[in-house]
């Protein structure tokens, strides 16, 4: 693939950090034992790697090591959480979720409704153009929840529009009614400070490939303290992970996930190496070449937010108003700093992407990119077809540079102007 393509689709997946690669490589050909084979040194070494990595991940999110269940990714984590609570023997038969959830939550819940006679409530979100755009109304949750509600599943940071829901307040409502609260935090863990006790979540899904780790490894936090959560396993076999998820553990992936999240935790408080230096290792450039203005902040969240805002500013300076889908960009408590989802009025987003094929962006979730239907997230905001079909999602990440943002903006501006002239 051409190295000239600028990657701005970091919500779908991220480039693996070279420090993560360095940490996981020895687990393929040196410490390659099966963590379940504890009768010899190879297996014991692998077991120790898994335990140490799990303890590090648990520490980052404020959990205990035995509350971490490793999976193949967030989709499996979501399914394990949902089906692990809502099963044929469940006494409570009601599930609450939100219209803007990822399909990895909506689809298993829908199937439970169709095949297992669970009642399903999908909460609406605030409409586009209102102060609460993309956010649930807590009073709607209060009205929907009852003593028959088994599970409430609401994501922390939306993968398309970046909306951050009030998780702590949602958890309080759930627990007051005796319902289990599951949170898909795939777009939040590693990007935001996340503490499972402070948030009050019972189950929480997350994945490595959204935070500069490899694909194929994820985790589910399953609370054992205070409100002990018992899951019905979905994969049976060797009884690994206390029977909650059987199967040979992906030791290289677990080590990589731990390393990736530790780097993210360091970046959040400025303890890791410069992001520009990391970008230079990957892109073959030096930080001096990229730091053209000297204005880029040092902390990763601040730097990425600055790049995101720079992109939007350059686009709007040339193209005029580009409506934001979701919360305003300056609402830091309710909008992920790495996300920009905006409309290009008078332009078809797919035509724009085709014309600017040297910039990798998307119109929505990678998991639904192969389907022709308009984004269900944007539809839930009340957008009409013209608005949906003119919308693009940008995901800014660790390895993006100022020069990439400037070049991307210039290319997009030129393409939009050309497409508008063709109408």
Active site residues: 367
What span, in angstroms and rounded, lies between the C-alpha atoms of 56 and 266?
12
CB-based burial label for 163 (10 Å; 0-12, 13-18, 19+): buried
Extract the tokens encoding 6: 């600028």
Extract the tokens encoding 28: 């393929």
CB-based burial label for 357 (10 Å; 0-12, 13-18, 19+): exposed
What span, in angstroms and rounded, lies between the C-alpha atoms of 86 and 150?
7
């Amino acid at each position: 693939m051409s190295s000239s393509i600028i990657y701005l689709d970091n919500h779908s997946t991220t480039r693996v950090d070279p420090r993560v690669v360095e940490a996981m490589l020895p687990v393929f050909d040196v410490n390659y034992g099966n963590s379940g084979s504890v009768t010899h040194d190879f297996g014991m070494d692998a077991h120790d790697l898994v335990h140490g990595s799990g303890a590090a991940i648990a520490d980052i999110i404020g959990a205990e090591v035995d509350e971490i269940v490793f999976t193949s990714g967030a989709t499996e984590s979501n399914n394990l959480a949902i089906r692990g609570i809502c099963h044929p023997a469940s006494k409570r038969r009601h599930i609450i979720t939100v219209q803007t959830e990822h399909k990895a939550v909506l689809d298993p819940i829908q199937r439970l409704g169709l095949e297992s006679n669970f009642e399903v409530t999908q909460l609406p979100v605030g409409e586009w153009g209102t102060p609460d755009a993309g956010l649930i109304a807590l009073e709607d949750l209060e009205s929907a929840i009852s003593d028959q509600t088994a599970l409430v599943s609401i994501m922390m940071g939306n993968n398309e529009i970046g909306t951050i829901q009030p998780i702590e307040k949602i958890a309080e409502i759930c627990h007051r009614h005796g319902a289990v609260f599951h949170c898909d935090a795939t777009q939040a863990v590693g990007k935001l400070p996340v503490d499972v006790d402070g948030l009050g979540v019972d189950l929480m899904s997350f994945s490595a490939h959204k935070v500069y780790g490899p694909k194929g490894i994820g985790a589910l936090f399953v609370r054992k303290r205070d409100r002990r959560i018992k899951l019905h396993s979905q994969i049976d076999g060797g009884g690994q992970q206390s029977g909650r998820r059987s199967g040979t553990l992906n030791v290289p992936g677990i080590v990589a996930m731990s390393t990736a999240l530790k780097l993210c935790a360091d970046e959040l408080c400025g303890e890791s190496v410069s992001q520009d230096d990391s970008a230079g290792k990957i892109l073959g450039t030096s930080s001096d070449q990229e730091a053209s203005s000297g204005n880029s902040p040092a902390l990763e969240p601040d730097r990425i937010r600055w790049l995101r805002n720079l992109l939007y500013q350059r686009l709007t300076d040339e193209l005029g108003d580009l409506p934001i889908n979701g919360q305003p960009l300056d609402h830091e408590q309710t909008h992920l700093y790495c996300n920009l989802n905006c409309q290009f009025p008078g332009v078809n987003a797919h035509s724009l992407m085709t014309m600017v094929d040297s910039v990798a962006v998307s119109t929505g979730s990678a998991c639904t990119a192969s389907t022709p239907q308009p984004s269900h997230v944007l539809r839930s905001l009340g957008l009409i077809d013209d608005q949906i079909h003119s919308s693009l999602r940008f995901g800014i990440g660790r390895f993006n540079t100022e020069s990439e943002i400037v070049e991307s903006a210039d290319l997009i501006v030129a393409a939009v102007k050309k497409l508008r002239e063709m109408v």
